[in-house]
Amino acid sequence: MHFAKVAVVGVGLIGGSFALALKAARACGEVVGVGRGAANLKLALEQGVVDTIGADIGDADLVLVATPVAQYPRVLAALAPRLKASAIVTDGGSTKRDVIAAARAALGAKIAQFVPAHPIAGAERSGASAASAELFRNKRVVLTPLPENPAAAVQAVEAAWQACGARVSRMEAAEHDAVLAAVSHLPHLLAYALVHEVAGRADSAQLFGFAAGGFRDFTRIASSHPEMWRDICVANRDRLLDELDRYLAKLQAVRPLVENGDGAALEKLFAEARAARQRWLAGEYE
């Protein structure tokens, strides 16, 4: 599959990496970058992430929307009148039910041209400078196709992500949002909350001064893009609240083990958690 012209709306970590990966695979011709930040677009052009900026995208064969999800209604509404009939639009949004609703409202009769997707390959860095052609290699990308999508459009989007080195799966949008709330959205919320709580203490300088690898590893994702994660948490708040309640219930169950000094029960919990994580790292759940 080769796309003569690709447009990337939001040339950050995801959008920029998509452009670089397609170029590396020789799966595209010209890449045009569109976005809010002039400095970031200039950097993307200088680094060869995109070939042109601010150009007309009406003749693009493939359009990737990779902005924070709260921008989708505005972005898709602007795209709608400019899309040629054969163009395919996909996205990199971390939530899908709200994205699909925005697409239906903005694209109207052109909704069949929109194939929702989510590359599960983020990092705590952002902007065009963080883009890498290798970001998606062996990472999972989830498609949540619409009933209106022609099979050829879904296959084209799948082929584009496969050209980036990704492993493509398919899910219903509601299932996607529930799964990602548990294993992505909740961990980010916890990391931000922990750092914010420590930073708000009177002795925060001392606490950060003595923080080491464990704190660094647990809170790494608190360096992620605040706007992006604000939008994700708001968009998927019903599923996120479900997971937050589950986690709070688990903490309430663990608290008496600590309070009572129940070493045996704590060790059993830790061992079971460690074994589950080792199975995950070994690829048993792929």
Closest CA to 12 of 56, 84, 68, 94: 68
Tokens of 246: 């589950």
Residue-level pLDDT at 192: 97
Sign of CA dihedral 250, 177, 135, 68: negative
Residue 55 predicted with pLDDT over 70: no
Mean pLDDT for the stretch of residues 160-187: 97
Give the Cα separation of 264 and 221 in Å (integer). 32
Residue 213 predicted with pLDDT over 70: yes
The C-alpha torsion from 146 through 3 and 106 to 14, rounded to 10°, is: 90
What count of residues does the chain have? 286
The alpha carbons of the chain give a radius of gyration, in whole angstroms, of 21
Residue-level pLDDT at 18: 94
Looking up tokens 């680094």 gives 47
Domain ranges of the chain: 3-171, 175-281
Residue 49 predicted with pLDDT over 90: no
Cβ–Cβ < 8 Å for 97, 72: no
Residue-level pLDDT at 37: 78
Cβ–Cβ < 8 Å for 167, 136: no
Q: 96 versus 49: which is more confidently predicted?
A: 96
Query: Is 175-281 a domain of CATH 1.10.3660.10?
Result: yes
- Top-ranked range on mean pLDDT: pick from 13-27, 64-78, 236-250: 236-250
The C-alpha torsion from 24 through 30 and 31 to 32, rounded to 10°, is: 170
Residue-level pLDDT at 48: 83
As a whole number, the mean pLDDT across the chain is 93
Mean pLDDT for the stretch of residues 154-172: 97
Domain 3-171: what homologous superfamily?
NAD(P)-binding Rossmann-like Domain (3.40.50.720)
Closest CA to 155 of 165, 170, 140, 135: 170
pTM over 0.95: no
Please report, rounded to a whole number, the percentage of residues in the chain having pLDDT higher than 70: 98
Please report, rounded to a whole number, the percentage of residues in the chain having pLDDT higher than 90: 81
Mean pLDDT for the stretch of residues 157-176: 97
Least confident interval from 43-52, 86-95, 99-108: 43-52
Mean pLDDT for the stretch of residues 60-70: 94
Residue 42 predicted with pLDDT over 80: yes
- SS3 state of residue 225: coil
The C-alpha torsion from 17 through 20 and 23 to 29, rounded to 10°, is: 90
Residue-level pLDDT at 125: 66
Mean pLDDT for the stretch of residues 268-274: 98
Residue-level pLDDT at 136: 94
Mean pLDDT for the stretch of residues 10-34: 92
Burial of 229 (0-12, 13-18, 19+ CB in 10 A): buried
At residue 206 the predicted structure's pLDDT band, cuts being 50, 70 and 90, is very high
Per-residue pLDDT of 214-248, as tens digits, reads 999 999 999 988 999 999 999 999 999 999 999 99
